[in-house]
Structure 1
């Protein structure tokens, strides 16, 4: 029986050796220089941080670009608004002077001149005498007293008047100095 066991052991040993050689060859072909085998630890420690760093740098660059564009647009808008607020924008045509501003302007009228305001124009008589000019009632709203002033009524010095509709205004009886805010024409 001992003679029969020897060939079985030899065949078994050969099969084990052949299996080990096959596994080694198969394992050697799993990763190569051109097609490497990637492990989870390599992905977590090398690839993911590199990708995140690249995305962060692109986001930072895009954010800086957008912030500079937004700043440029904001600065341009501020300049336009400041220009509109500070410019009186006066024009002249046929004896009439049309102008307007978002800030109070000091206007001097000679006796007989009429200042006609646009909607929501404000008047503040500083010196002289003047009367309300209006085609309908109420003419002007006296915002100081909380009353209304009909056409032909005398303005009080240092009272703030509001023309709620276009066409309301002030006619100078003597030379007057008046502060005006809003669009108006002088005839």
Structure 2
């Protein structure tokens, strides 16, 4: 008997084995749940939304924390500290110590500016300076450019509008 067909059978078996190995390699390369093949749809449908959600949660938490810290600092800053103007009534001779950057506007009565170093206040209405002992002009807005500057109420009742930190003495 001749064995002329055995090499064909062996070749077919070798090709079949090779095909099975190749298919297994492709299946392993595609990955599984623990080690997936990353596709664009996986990134856009799974990774990106999760990343956005996580980032937003962290940003919201940090925002709440910073808001709480700001409110605590604002409540601790002294008698007056506000982003809006407050009307303050001073009695004759009473002193209002202005914090750095505080703004004050004389509405009723008379008051003088005080400071160890001139200018005592900056008149933002005219762009000029008001030196120590100078009288405030009604309806002019003044700014304290140093923290040791103040105003002293004249005789009678004095009403000022103030924005920023201040203390009364």
Could you say which TM-score interval applies, normalised by the shorter chain?
Answer: 0.7 to 0.9
Residue 116 of structure 1 deviates from its aligned partner by: 1.3
**1:71-110 pair list within 5 angstroms:** 71-78=60-67, 80-81=69-70, 83=71, 87=74, 89=76, 91=78, 98-110=79-91
Native 8 Å contact 1:115 1:185 kept in 2: yes
Gaps of 5+ in 2: none
Higher mean alpha-carbon deviation, 72-81 vs 173-182, is at 72-81
What is the aligned length?
A: 160
Other-structure match for 2:103? 122
1 CA distance for matches of 2:65 and 2:77? 23
Residue 76 of structure 1 deviates from its aligned partner by: 3.8
In structure 2, which of residues 38, 43, 50 is the aligned counterpart of residue 61 of structure 1? 50
2 CA distance for matches of 1:141 and 1:71? 40
Gaps of 5+ in 1: 1-9, 92-97
1 CA distance for matches of 2:121 and 2:153? 15
Query: What whole-Å deviation, never above 9, does each CA across 1:86-138 have from its counterpart, x for those lacking one?
Result: x55465xxxxxx43333322211111100011222211111111111222322
2 CA distance for matches of 1:54 and 1:120? 54
- Indicate the structure whose relative CO is greater, using CA pairs within 8 Å and at least 6 residues apart: 2
Residue 39 of structure 1 deviates from its aligned partner by: 8.4
Q: Please give the TM-score of this superposition, normalised by the length of structure 1.
A: 0.69
Native 8 Å contact 1:89 1:101 kept in 2: no
Residue 59 of structure 1 deviates from its aligned partner by: 4.3
Q: Please give the TM-score of this superposition, normalised by the length of structure 2.
A: 0.75
In structure 2, which of residues 16, 22, 43 is the aligned counterpart of residue 37 of structure 1? 22
